Amino acid sequence: MKYVLRIITLACIAIAASSIWAPPGYSEPYELSKHDVMDPKALKSAEISLFGVKLGDSEAKALDALVNEKIPGIKVEQEALFIFLLDQRKPTGPMAGVRIQDGKVDLIFINNRFSYKTRGIFRNVLNSESPDDVRKLMGQEDYGDENVMGAILAYDRQGFVINYLGKDVNVEFSPSR
């Protein structure tokens, strides 16, 4: 009996130890529609997902998750390389989507029409009043361009770009360089 208890104890310790270990640089996944991540330093495009679809996922997985799986309140349209998600209440244009090239998801995007669905820091970014508001939330960009029409704020090390054009805010996630 003691032998069985020792084996069970060792197995529990091994399971616990393996579940807390994570490789260096690993961060928690951030589902845009579920998680309240507020630390901009914790965000990496490789860990961002849109209704379960991440960068690098296969076309089949993207089609299954976004087209075949019914998402409440969302109308889906597929056009050329893109899968667009539209708000069923006001389908005036895409609020989010993915681009598929060479059989893999290589771009995820959201815009201010998606702000009611997103959680965490990107809800605040999509509702920003100015590029300076975005910088207060996200920190200084790696590089960018700002003019009277708007701004492009590139956070390349984290793998995303924020395009600010008046009330139109768009965030594009792509593989980090």
10-22 burial code (b ≥16 CB/10 A, e <16): eeeeeeeeeeeee
Q: List for the chain the helix, strand, coil content (%; round to 5).
A: 30, 30, 40
pTM for the model: 0.81
**Which sign, positive or negative, has the C-alpha torsion 34, 36, 38, 39?**
negative
pLDDT score for 57: 97
Task: Please give the pLDDT value at position 29.
Answer: 78
* pLDDT beyond 90 at 170: yes
Query: pLDDT category, 169, cuts 50, 70, 90?
Result: very high
Q: How far apart are CA 97 and CA 84, in angstroms?
A: 4
Residue 17 pLDDT exceeds 70: no
Mean pLDDT lowest among 6-20, 45-59, 71-85:
6-20
Q: Can you tell me the distance from the alpha carbon of 102 to that of 108, in angstroms, rounded to the nearest whole number?
A: 15
Q: Across residues 71-90, what is the average pLDDT?
A: 94
pLDDT tens-place string over residues 122-147: 999 999 999 999 999 999 999 999 98
**Distance (Å, rounded) from C-alpha 118 to C-alpha 120?**
7
Confidence of residue 90 (pLDDT cuts 50, 70, 90): confident
pLDDT of 171 over the 90 cut: yes
In sequence order, what E strands does the chain have? 30-31, 48-50, 53-54, 74-79, 82-87, 94-101, 104-111, 143-146, 151-155, 160-165, 168-173
* Cα end-to-end distance, the chain, whole Å: 56
> So what's the pLDDT on residue 28?
60
Q: Is the pLDDT of residue 23 over 70?
A: no
User: Which token pair is 165?
Assistant: 């054009």
Domain boundaries, the chain: 31-173
Q: What is the pLDDT of residue 160?
A: 96
**Closest-CA residue to 65 (of 34, 27, 105):** 105
Q: What is the pLDDT of residues 101-124, one digit of tens each?
A: 999 999 999 999 999 999 999 999
Average pLDDT over residues 72-95: 93
Confidence of residue 15 (pLDDT cuts 50, 70, 90): very low
The encoded tokens of residue 13 equal 């310790």
Mean pLDDT of the chain: 85
